[in-house]
Amino acid sequence: MMARELPDSPDRLTPTAQKRLSTEASDEYDSRRINFLCAEHLIHTPDLDHIMLAARKALIRNAHASYVARTGLALSGPSTVGKSSAILEIGRQHHRKMMIGNEDRPSFQPTAYVSFGIARTPKMALAAFGDFLGLGFSRTATITEIGRAVASVMNDLGTSLVIVDEVHNITGLYNRGADGAAGTLKWLTEHVNATFILAGIDLPATALFTDEMGTQFRGRFHTLKMEPYTNRSKSERLSWARLVGTLENHLLGSLTQHEVGTLAAKAEDIFAIPLESDILGAGPLPHSIGTLKDTLVMAAIDAIFTGKERVTVQDLRSQYAPQLAR
């Protein structure tokens, strides 16, 4: 996952050149464009740049730390604001950097990534790390045995960055305190020689950061909050327009009939689109980089399938962005 390369943006053809393509060549061109649209896109924003800088500072500081309580980073915010994309890019950059000069070390694993499922018990939390590391444990293995094995293997592999996503799923009273999943994760941060980066929804209210143990844990992590976009002030409207323009240029550049910049000019109209969700009564979606990106992607795919080759504000109104938990 950390070493995955993303597809390049396909060249933009003129409408005339597109019409001259054979059926086979046209299908291949459309396939490459759709593959690009469906990839995990990283869009640089001021928030992302701030997060990347904070991660680099934590990694540098911890690389020279001689004490147990290393500094961690916690990204908190609602769904679709880009938390997962940010931590994955941090992981990819760290992996690429650490692999330089270590390409011939098959047992070298500088970055570990796990995502927690709902209602995770302490044992399941450790098993998630074991699954990533390819470790197998018997049903009779104790939490202590699994924890020691996970910490030992990560230290032996030279793991210096551990990313834990969906941390808000550590829920329930049985996950609080030293004996819960929150305590288990805290134990790992103290026994693995790595920087930990956590991401989740409303982290300050989760079991990991509340009660007496959570107060200690919170003090070791620098929490960054990611928010949806708003349009209350001129600067906020400008930030939204820049995001629309950046995504439009990045995602819609290969649509042969689309004039890049037309959507950015109507950024306020796009913000006014109600991003309602009917799935499980989830309510309205936030105006965020995730919802905007998903809406643009689906509209672009429609434009390719229908041969329209352009996206309008009305096209965005008819789209639905179902990504509720990114």
**pLDDT digit string, tens, across residues 241-256:** 999 999 999 999 999 9
Task: Provide the pairing of β-strand 276-277 with 221-225.
Answer: unpaired
- Alpha-carbon distance of 282 to 278, in angstroms, equals 6
Q: Which of 315, 228, 321 is nearest to 279 (CA)?
A: 321
Low-confidence ranges of the chain (pLDDT < 70): 1-6, 65-69, 118-120, 171-179, 213, 275-286, 320-326
Tokens representing 213 are 């143990």
**Predicted pLDDT at 261:** 96
pTM score, two decimals? Answer: 0.83
Q: What is the pLDDT of residue 186?
A: 84
Helix (H) or strand (E) holding 115: strand 111-115
Q: Cα angle at 133 between 213 and 160, to 5 degrees?
A: 60
d(CA 233, CA 236): 5
Q: What is the pLDDT of residue 164?
A: 94
- pLDDT, residue 58, reads 93
Tokens 């004996």 locate to 179
Pinpoint the alpha helices (H) of 22-137. 23-37, 46-63, 83-99, 122-133
Whether the CB-CB separation of 271 and 284 falls below 8 Å is answered with: no
What was the pLDDT predicted at 279? 43
Helix (H) or strand (E) holding 297: helix 289-306
CA distance linking residue 290 with residue 81, whole number of Å: 6
What pLDDT, on a 0 to 100 scale, did the predictor assign at position 265?
96
Fill in the amino acid letter for 59: L
| pLDDT on residue 143 | 87
Radius of gyration of the chain (CA): 22
